[in-house]
Amino acid sequence: TRTAAVIPAAGRGVRLGPGAPKALRALNGTPMLIHAVRAMAASRAVSLVIVVAPPDGTPEVKTLLDAHALPERTDFLVVPGGESRQESVKQGLDALPPGYDIVLVHDAARPLVPVDTVDAVIEAVRDGAPAVVPALPLADTVKEVEPADAPGTPEPVVATPERARLRAVQTPQGFHRETLVRAHETVTGEVTDDASMVERLGLGVVVVPGHEEAFKVTRPLDLVLAEAVLARRRL
Ligand code: C5P
């Protein structure tokens, strides 16, 4: 079996504030995307990484990948992304050569996921799960609300799901290739992760333990945290 990783990196990163596309912003001097690619290539099982670049940034991303040392056993492809994360993942899947039967989908915005988490996801797919997501229990209690139209308006609470049964999901999410391709062909409508498309096909999705360091860099404070994690690793 061969495993490939698709990295959607075509988002603008609006919540992070003004500047370059999120994946190209530096963490301790190295673009977030390069950290994310290295995190996938760190797994001995991953022999191909497909980066889905901002549509107008494909040459720049190619240059970037050429400029950074990556393991020799790993091949790379760069393809342009789409309007939504979902479309970007689809573009990556369309570029996947034959022979790869396990596919990981990993957000460029989770640059620090440890290799043990990547390997645990691959292992669970190899063990037969059609879709696998790394996830962590929640620290916060979560409430479902009736969203207000105007920002700042108090929102009525609809329900409080039992916290012990909730998980915050991360990436890489792992799939049997056929399953993910079929999900992208049949499921329409907005989704925020790939596994939920497989759930809609009625197939079993399982959760394995995620890792604190697989957090998503979304807001400015996350950049501070990511740089602190990197500094600690270098000690
Ligand atoms: O916006 P969000 O944080 O959910 O984005 C998750 C990942 O999806 C990021 O790595 C982002 O670059 C990617 N993305 C993409 N194409 C889009 C939107 C987001 O590849 N059109």
Task: List the domain boundaries for the chain.
Answer: 3-135+168-234
**Cα separation of 115 and 132, whole Å?**
16
pTM of the complete model beyond 0.90: yes
**Cα separation of 216 and 160, whole Å?**
24
Question: Which residues form ligand 1's pocket by a CB distance below 6 Å?
Answer: 8-11, 22-23, 52, 81-85, 88, 107-109, 216, 218
Domain 3-135+168-234 has CATH 3.90.550.10: yes
CA 219 to chain centre: 16
Q: Looking at residue 13, what is its pLDDT? A: 82
Atom nearest to 89 CA in ligand 1? 20
Atom nearest to 83 CA in ligand 1? 21
Q: Looking at residue 14, what is its pLDDT? A: 84
Helices (H), the chain: 32-41, 58-67, 85-94, 115-126, 177-186, 195-200, 220-234
3 state DSSP class of 15: helix
> Which residue lies with its CA nearest to atom 2 of ligand 1?
11
Q: Looking at residue 167, what is its pLDDT? A: 98
On whether the CB atoms of residues 217 and 15 are closer than 8 A, the answer is: no
> Which residue lies with its CA nearest to atom 3 of ligand 1?
218
Atom nearest to 84 CA in ligand 1? 21
Residue 103 makes CB contacts below 8 A (sequence gap 6+) with 3, 4, 5, 6, 93, 96, 174, 175, 176, 177, 180
Q: Looking at residue 138, what is its pLDDT? A: 98
Q: Looking at residue 235, what is its pLDDT? A: 72
Q: Running along the chain, 235 residues long, what does each successive block of 10 average in pLDDT?
A: 96 85 92 97 97 93 91 93 95 98 97 98 97 98 95 95 98 98 92 94 96 96 96 88
